[in-house]
Amino acid sequence: MIVLDASVLIAQLDASDRHHAKARSLLEANSGEQLGASPITLAETLVSPARAGRLEDAQAALQRLGVRELPLAEGSPGRLARLRAEVSLKMPDCCVLLAAQDYDASVASFDSQLLEAARRLELKSASTRQS
């Protein structure tokens, strides 16, 4: 499974995003993998489409991609607090890391700080090439 950060999802949904081609390439290279995202990541992804009156279109696009919502487990608030204290990233990034831990998944992001934190936590990172 690959846990997607909002940077990947936003880029995939917006053809004008500077990372759009990288997002497409990453998702194509990992097409056999299950895709998931935390509820916070999905909400973050949907803010711009909601502002533009295209929320339903964006939700349908995420469904077509097969992105599964990965619910936060019981006890997540304390674990998220510990993660945030340890890695000093914003809470949405900690939600990505926690989901990757909980689902034994790789992390996909265009955020170098998030990927570095994932590496320090010994989480795998998804790449544009199949491994």
100-120, pLDDT tens digit by residue?
A: 999 999 999 999 999 999 999
Residue 129 has pLDDT above 90, yes or no: no
What are the tens digits of pLDDT across the range 66-96? 999 999 999 999 999 999 999 999 999 999 9
Residue 131 has pLDDT above 50, yes or no: no
Q: Where are the beta strands (DSSP E) in the chain?
A: 2-4, 35-37, 67-69, 106-108
Question: Which domains can be identified in the chain, with CATH numbers?
Answer: 2-120 (3.40.50.1010)
Q: With a threshold of 0.85, does the pTM exceed it?
A: yes
- Give the other-Cβ count within 10 Å of 126's Cβ: 24
What are the tens digits of pLDDT across the range 24-70? 999 999 989 999 999 999 999 999 999 999 999 999 999 999 999 99
Burial 15-49 (b: 16+ CB within 10 A, else e): eebebeebbeebbeebeebebbbbebbbebbbeeb
What's the confidence (pLDDT) of residue 63? Answer: 97
- Give the other-Cβ count within 10 Å of 6's Cβ: 24
Report the alpha-carbon distance of residue 110 to residue 84 in Å, rounded.
Answer: 19
Quote the mean pLDDT of the chain. Answer: 95
Residue 130 has pLDDT above 80, yes or no: no
* DSSP-derived 3-state class of residue 108: strand
CA 93, 32, 14, 49 torsion-angle sign: negative
- Chain centroid to CA 47: 15
Confidence of residue 128 (pLDDT cuts 50, 70, 90): low
Strand partners, 68: 36
What's the confidence (pLDDT) of residue 66? Answer: 96
